[in-house]
Amino acid sequence: MVRVRFAPSPTGNLHIGSVRTALFNWLYAKRVNGSYILRIEDTDLQRSTKEYEDNILAGLKWLGLEWDEGPGKEDSVRYRQTERIAQHVYVPFVEKLLEQDDAYYCYCTPEELEKEKALSAAQGLAPGYTGKCRNLTSEQSEQYKAEGRACAVRFRVKPEKIIVKDIIRGNVEFDTNLINDFVIQKADGSPAYNFAVVVDDIAMRITHVIRGEDHLPNTPKQIMLYNALSSNLPEFAHLPMILGPDKSKLSKRHGATSVVEYQEQGFLPEALINYLSLLGWSHPEGKEKMPVQEIINNFHIERISKSGAVFDVEKLRWMNGLYVRELPEEKLVKAVMPFLIRAYGSSVEEKSQEWLSEVIQSVRDNLTVLTDIVSATSVYFVAKPEYQPDFILKYLHDDLSKSIITDVINTFTSLSVYSEEVIKDYINALPVKYSCGKGKVLKPLRYAVSGQEHGPLFVKLLYLLGRETVVDRLKKALDL
């Protein structure tokens, strides 16, 4: 059975690069009916926080990337590295490597290691461990122990060629002569990253390791550990880097990078999932917009590109707009209400659900992200429109505009029935009455009522604002 994992470190909020990794693991597991495991790699005690972990879990849940095993599931303790350390999970594996002479104790102090590093740099050599403790005699070891020196454990790297068989990149060769003996257990007894990852993947029976290409240099070290621990290798797939439009590594200067930021900006999870699936992978028929089940059905690791994938926030906005405008009425109202309440408070809460629904539907086609609802509906909630001097001159000061506005005030005041149909028939008759084009009627009226040049369908706007509000705004516009 296929078992994949997403293993974030809770040292920051869930960001786009990590989400793409989580998504590709999840998609593959879904397609082959495998298991998707979430593991929290929280050994960086100084930077790891509960808040960041909560952010990661919440972001994955919001996106619908629910895990089969991990935090919140049965026996979740074993999916956090700190708790696995407390259970001494890693100790037997260290002891096995020591017994096999695949590892050794290193008594070098941090100061000594820094001196070695400086000496290598002065000689023009690549910085690295010289192997000082590689072949200590028992007497030397006893002397260091007597001095009370703390000791790390290093893996003994043997000269060989390591071939990483990568599903995406093909065979990638590494020469271990360029790899120093690396630490597998720190002096404080905690496991080093590469060692913990391998032990955890063995214990959790991970069959496929799907992760970013920045992890590729770690892979030969991990393969050496798998071999030394007599464990089968998982299959590896290293995903292409996510780039900004300028082809540099994606960063905050290219826009928001954390999932929570996109959620707060009003992006829909299904749109984000759809867009991120296309960062490196492509549908066999070249489709761009598709439901998640279609993505699952067509997701093959072999279709993932080696080239960097460009993250274009404008294309994401375009795709999000498609999803927003397709939302059923009830779902759209529910989705935008938090943004409206946050912006307009009691002005929203005092309105009827039916009226709010009509208002939201009237601006549906103007929405790209959910937060657009605030500016798109401002005309309905602000007490008084804001008029710009240039537009006052443009739309409200000529005699024709004043005559039309006065006509509307008088007519609306005297109407016995104020309905969409009555308003529509009356407005449509005005160009004929004043022998002018539609624009000469609609533009000054819209600006007088809303303080905006564009907005919802005008008849719908007049109807939803209500007779009293419309007449009041028109009267005030005449006095500008």
**Checking DSSP bridges between strand 183-185 and strand 152-155, what pairing results, if any?**
antiparallel
CATH topology of domain 389-478: Arc Repressor Mutant, subunit A (1.10.10)
In whole angstroms, what is the distance from residue 471 CA to residue 456 CA? 18
* Domain boundaries, given as residue ranges, for the chain: 3-86+242-310, 91-239, 327-381, 389-478
Please determine, for residue 92, whether its predicted confidence score (pLDDT) is greater than 90: yes
Q: Residue 77: what pLDDT?
A: 64
Same fold, 3-86+242-310 and 389-478: no
Alpha-carbon separation of residue 63 from 254, 364, 412, 427, 470 (angstroms): 22, 23, 49, 46, 42
CATH topology of domain 3-86+242-310: Rossmann fold (3.40.50)
Q: pLDDT tens for residues 105-156?
A: 999 988 888 888 877 777 777 777 888 899 999 899 889 988 889 999 999 9
Residue 403 tokens read as: 């005559």
**CATH of region 91-239, choose from 3.30.1050.10, 3.40.50.620, 3.40.920.10, 3.40.50.1820:** 3.40.50.620
What is the set of active-site residues?
Answer: 252
Phi first, then psi: give them for residue 340, nearest 5 degrees: -65, -45
Q: Residue 23: what pLDDT?
A: 99
Please determine, for residue 436, whether its predicted confidence score (pLDDT) is greater than 80: yes
In whole angstroms, what is the distance from residue 396 CA to residue 189 CA? 78
CA torsion 118→119→123→127, rounded to 10°?
-60
Q: pLDDT tens for residues 249-307?
A: 887 777 667 899 999 999 999 999 999 999 999 999 999 999 999 999 999 999 999 99
Enumerate residues 6+ apart whose C-beta is below 8 A from 279. 20, 242, 309, 310, 311
Q: Residue 245: what pLDDT?
A: 87
Q: pLDDT tens for residues 180-226?
A: 999 999 999 999 999 999 999 999 999 999 999 999 999 999 999 99
Q: Residue 76: what pLDDT?
A: 65
Q: pLDDT tens for residues 307-328?
A: 999 999 999 999 999 999 999 9
